[in-house]
């Protein structure tokens, strides 16, 4: 684990605990400032959903807003207003405005400078580090990064192993199980839409065929994994489950509470058991398969989604 990686993580922790102080009225907005604005956008003279807000806050220079919006606000002062065009990208998540150009009016209501805490004993103590010193902080960060690297490498190898299992398996899938998996996935999609505030999410038409490929993959993988567990005794042992939970809990300030949280719910325990089984199967596959080692840079690994 390099010192540079520890430094970057320390900077992230500092940003998470930054404080703000209002800047002078004649101070121009600069990168790193937190601004509070009112804005309203129109396309062809008509307002659009999500195009208006009051007392909206964002950090300038951190990519929270589209580039044109940040460029317009940068250099403005408290009380100033400005109009500017903003071209939404073709792949913008808001499909109704993607690829279109809007005219925006923005008013800056407050400009605040960010203050980052110093890296000292007080900072370490605020993070709950047992050894409340700069060295103790760096040691704790190193330990957590090493744990995260371990989990990410395991997830990467597991994905490769599971892909190999699915690609090599040849078996007829019980359509009743596939249908149950599709239904479960559809219900999950509806719940997600509902949580996002989508109206009538429970009635939204979602064709089964949308989820059939992933449902068939999960069923196929489940059957193959179950057969490997039966044939090669790769099931989850109680001590393995205990070790996995303790590793998950170790990164929290109160690990014992997290351990109790897992053991207090059968569904969470079942999820952990499934993960441990997949880890065991992955280890078995890698022990039997012809593998090629590949070096992965730290930044590349940490930038990957699990």
Instruction: State whether CATH 3.40.50.450 applies to domain 19-115.
Output: no
pLDDT at 306: 44
84 or 200: which carries more pLDDT confidence?
84
Tell me: the pLDDT tens digits for 212-238?
A: 888 888 888 888 888 889 899 999 999
CB neighbour class for 234 (10 Å; exposed up to 12, middle 13-18, buried from 19) = buried
Q: How many residues does the chain have?
A: 306
17 or 190: which carries more pLDDT confidence?
17
* Contact criterion met (CB below 8 Å) for 95 and 6: no
pLDDT at 305: 47
Whether the predicted pLDDT of 104 surpasses 60:
yes
CA 52 to chain centre: 27
Supply the mean pLDDT for the chain.
89
Find which of 28-37, 153-162, 201-210, 273-282 is predicted with most confidence, using mean pLDDT: 28-37
The angle subtended at Cα 143 by Cα 142 and Cα 149, nearest 5°, is 85
What proportion of the chain, given as a percentage, has pLDDT over 70?
A: 98
What angle, rounded to 10 degrees, do the helices at 212-232 and 134-168 form? 100
Band of the pLDDT at 138, cuts 50, 70, 90? very high
Q: Which of the residue ranges 18-32, 154-168, 241-255, 282-296 would you say has the lowest mean pLDDT?
A: 282-296
Band of the pLDDT at 198, cuts 50, 70, 90? confident
Tell me: the pLDDT tens digits for 263-302?
A: 999 999 999 999 999 999 999 888 887 767 777 777 777 7
User: If we measure between CA atoms, which residue out of 138, 118, 135, 137 comes closest to residue 127?
Assistant: 137
pLDDT at 1: 62
Neighbours of 11 (CB within 10 A): 12
Question: CA–CA separation, 12 vs 14, rounded Å?
Answer: 5
Whether the predicted pLDDT of 170 surpasses 80:
no
- Spell out the alpha helix ranges (H) of the chain: 3-16, 67-73, 121-126, 134-168, 175-195, 212-232, 238-249, 255-263, 266-288, 298-303
Whether the predicted pLDDT of 304 surpasses 70:
no
Backbone angles phi, psi at 35, to 5 degrees: -115, 150
Residue by residue, what is the 3-state secondary structure of 126-158?
A: HCCCCCCCHHHHHHHHHHHHHHHHHHHHHHHHH
Residue ranges covered by each domain of the chain: 19-115, 146-174+208-303
Q: Tell me what the mean pLDDT of segment 137-165 comes to.
A: 88
């Amino acid at each position: 684990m390099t010192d540079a990686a520890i430094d970057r993580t320390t900077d992230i922790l500092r940003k998470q605990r930054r404080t703000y102080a209002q800047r002078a009225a004649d101070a121009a907005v600069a990168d790193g400032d937190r601004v509070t604005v009112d804005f309203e956008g129109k396309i062809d003279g008509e307002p659009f959903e999500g195009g208006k807000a009051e007392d909206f806050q964002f950090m300038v220079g951190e990519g929270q807003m589209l580039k044109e919006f940040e460029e317009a606000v940068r250099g403005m002062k408290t009380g100033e207003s400005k109009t500017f065009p903003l071209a939404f990208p073709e792949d913008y998540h808001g499909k109704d405005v993607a690829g279109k150009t809007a005219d925006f009016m923005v008013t800056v209501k407050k400009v605040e400078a960010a203050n980052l805490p110093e890296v000292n004993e007080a900072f370490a103590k605020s993070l709950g580090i047992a050894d409340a010193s700069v060295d103790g902080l760096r040691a704790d960060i190193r330990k957590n990064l090493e744990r995260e690297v371990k989990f990410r490498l395991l997830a990467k190898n597991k994905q490769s192993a599971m892909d190999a299992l699915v690609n090599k398996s040849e078996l007829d899938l019980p359509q009743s199980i596939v249908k149950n998996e599709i239904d479960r996935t559809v219900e999950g999609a509806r719940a997600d839409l509902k949580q996002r505030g989508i109206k009538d999410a429970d009635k939204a038409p979602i064709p089964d065929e949308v989820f059939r490929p992933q449902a068939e993959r999960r069923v196929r993988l489940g059957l193959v994994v179950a057969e490997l567990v039966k044939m090669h005794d790769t099931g989850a042992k109680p001590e393995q489950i205990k070790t996995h939970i303790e590793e998950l809990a170790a990164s929290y300030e109160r690990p014992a509470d997290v351990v109790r949280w897992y053991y207090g719910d059968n569904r969470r325990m079942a999820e952990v058991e499934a993960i441990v089984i997949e880890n065991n199967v992955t280890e078995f596959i890698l022990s039997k398969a012809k593998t090629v080692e590949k070096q992965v840079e730290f930044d590349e690994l940490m930038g990957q989604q699990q």
